[in-house]
Amino acid sequence: MVDRLKVGVLISGSGSNLQAIMDQCDKKNINAEVVFVGSDNKEATGLLKAKNSNIPYFVVDYKKIIKNCKKTPEFKLPNDYDLNKIKASQNLFPKNSVKEKINFFLLSRARAEAELLNKMCKHQFDLLVLAGFMHKLTPYFISKVNTPGKLPKIMNIHPAILPSFPGICGYEDTFNYGCKVGGCTVHFVDFGEDTGPIIGQKVFSITPDDTIDSIKRKGLEKEWALFPECIQLYANNKLKLETYSYISGLGKQITRTVVKQQSG
């Protein structure tokens, strides 16, 4: 019997994806187990799902931390924190954005992320999944979680067919654009916003009588199937990364790291 993949889950809301993952683990449809659930929001109802399944859970109150950072700008940073290095590697903001804005964002998140890392490291885990976790993670956190030379260790689910409609309103943006199909994507997390290598996608049709609410329902059902499938591919060591360069249709030189599924 191969060891089960130990999965940590971060949520912000209702945790329906968390529930789908826990159900597939319980039914042994995937070779994984959820070992902790963390939230950036103490009101997240998904925490009850963890509690009811006897899974350890914790909260890092991002709202409070960010508010405190505004009140006390001279806050203490983690000892190993190098703002210039983090700023140079992040792709969340264009490099010419207002310096104070980027600095405050990165430094306040550093405080929250240090607490998150501290709580997470009490549990041994192989993979961290963001199941509706609504705060962007910075290179400080991502580099601490990833193990050099191996597959990335953080997966996110996004409510659109990436690279279209990154950001927090994927289903709304898909609908308002007038798309005739929508979908969801599971990808590894890199230093940009929803830009990491794509692991899997599922799509659904958008018909004339659909509304934003109805496509959200269609989308969530796809998410509940897609996330466990991608975790299973990771657990079974079926994923590898490949980097190559090409000229895009718009004539741009692109270097991209993609996920390839290994057969066998």
Active site residues: 158
> Cβ closer to ligand GRF: 41 or 90?
41
CA angle 183, 185, 188 (to 5 degrees): 170
How many other C-beta atoms can be found within 10 angstroms of the C-beta atom of residue 25? Answer: 20
216/182 Cα distance (integer angstroms): 9
255/258 Cα distance (integer angstroms): 10
> Cβ closer to ligand GRF: 46 or 228?
46
77/107 Cα distance (integer angstroms): 8
> Cβ closer to ligand GRF: 60 or 220?
220
> Cβ closer to ligand GRF: 138 or 174?
174
CB of 141 to ligand GRF, least distance (A): 17
SS3 253: strand
Q: Would you give the DSSP letter of residue 153?
A: S
CB of 221 to ligand GRF, least distance (A): 11
* C-alpha Rg value of the chain to the nearest Å: 19
CB of 146 to ligand GRF, least distance (A): 21
Residue ranges binding ligand GRF (CB under 6 A): 11, 13-17, 46, 131-132, 157-159, 220, 223
CB of 30 to ligand GRF, least distance (A): 17
